[in-house]
Amino acid sequence: MGKNTFTLTDNRDGKSFEYDIISGTRGPDVVDIRSFYKDSGMFTYDPGYTSTASCDSKITFIDGENSELRHRGYLIQDLAGKHSYLDVCYLLMRGRLPNEEESKGFDLEIRHRSFLHEAVIRIFDAMPDHAHPMATLGAATMSLATIYKDHLNLDDEDSFKEMRRRIIAKMPTMAAMAYRNSLGIPMIYPDVDRYFTENFLYMMRAYPGGKMKSLGNGLSEEIKQVEVDALDAIFTLHADHEQNASTTTVRAVGSTEAHPYVSIASGIAALWGSAHGGANEKVMDQLKLIGDVKNVPTYIAKAKDRNDPFRLMGFGHRVYKNRDPRAESLRGLQKKLKDELNLDSKLLDIAQAVEEAALADDYFKDRGLYPNIDFYSGVILTALKIPVEMFTPIFVIGRTVGWITQWSELKQDPTAKIARPRQLYTGK
């Protein structure tokens, strides 16, 4: 028996099978069972892949027990709000933060790549008014594969970089246009004089001709820097999160040799679910259901009642068994927004009352049910006047860099194979 091996014994006949133990930089060791079926004639059974490592990655690390999230070795607390979202994009794709010159150059390139081919814009015209922005955003992303079909040479480094930067640059434009299409109002084109995040807010809010909403007395609803900073931090906090459902989907579709933008479109579809990216919409629905601060104790009691189907949305996490480090960043951001924008929102008050009640209750603390990123992001986006139907598209904007970086890593892995899980058949 080898020192760094793991032995499985079939107690039916006493046969043993030995497998190598692989140690990563951080996290649990991994048993390499790639030959298990060949050796034993059996499959392993792991619904939801909760104990299965599907790939080798150098991008993001999560320690759920200790509330730790790192991108390329950097703690998320040292990135969100301290480096621009575009600098974090550079970090994820290139493995290091840019210097000042590289940062400016990357920013400038993203600004000029933010415009859409007119054929993509015509796709929005074909969609009905009031369509959910996630549906039209997915369709628009898929359509990019019809336009940029000849830029897939992975051996050409410049072409490869161009492919990745293009999708990052165009996603906010497509998201904003998907929103405006849902309202049946004219599209706003990007403004190259504006930074990535400010540009998105501009395309969401502006009137034709680039004018901002008039507030009377010669004033207009100009975009405030605190709003840009807040949304930029939210984009960073959503940038990547290891092998979650949508990222796993992007990798699985990418493993079939599908176009990279088709893979990203598949990630958008996976993210839309209420158990994934749509969770913050559910948080807002629940805050509206609670309706008033005085009703919070009643709903806290309902959440603790095993016989009551009510569950408190935005608390607990599949990976984090303690606090969600992203939520901790958003918690401070929420307070800053409330103070600097002089917010007096009923939903903010309800959310604060829910948070305080849950954090003071041993029922939630004993079960590790702390507020997660969805609890705070929905409240903050509401404070930024972002409509609920745009919460998940904003998640898409932030996560696009993670998806395309994960796709790139898959393509550069010489051992990668087409994704093909097996099954336990229990039918006739």
Q: State the CB neighbour count (10 A cutoff) for residue 337.
A: 23
CB count within 10 Å of CB 88 equals 28
Of the residues 87, 229, 240, 374, which is catalytic? 374
- Catalytic site includes residue 317: yes
Contacts of 255 (CB under 8 A, 6+ apart): 410, 416, 417, 418, 419
- Give the whole-angstrom CA distance, residue 174 versus residue 238: 18
Residue 144 and residue 139: Cα distance in Å, rounded? Answer: 9
- The answer to whether the beta carbons of residues 127 and 177 sit under 8 Å apart is no
Q: At what angle do helices 391-411 and 260-271 cross, to 10 degrees?
A: 140
Whether 264 contacts 167, CB under 8 Å: yes
Contact 182, 206 (CB under 8 A): no
Out of 71, 87, 317, 324, pick the active-site residue: 317
Which structure tokens are listed for 164?
A: 């990745």
32 labelled catalytic: no
341, with CB counted inside 10 A (0-12, 13-18, 19+), is middle
Output DSSP code: residue 47: G
Active site residues: 317, 374
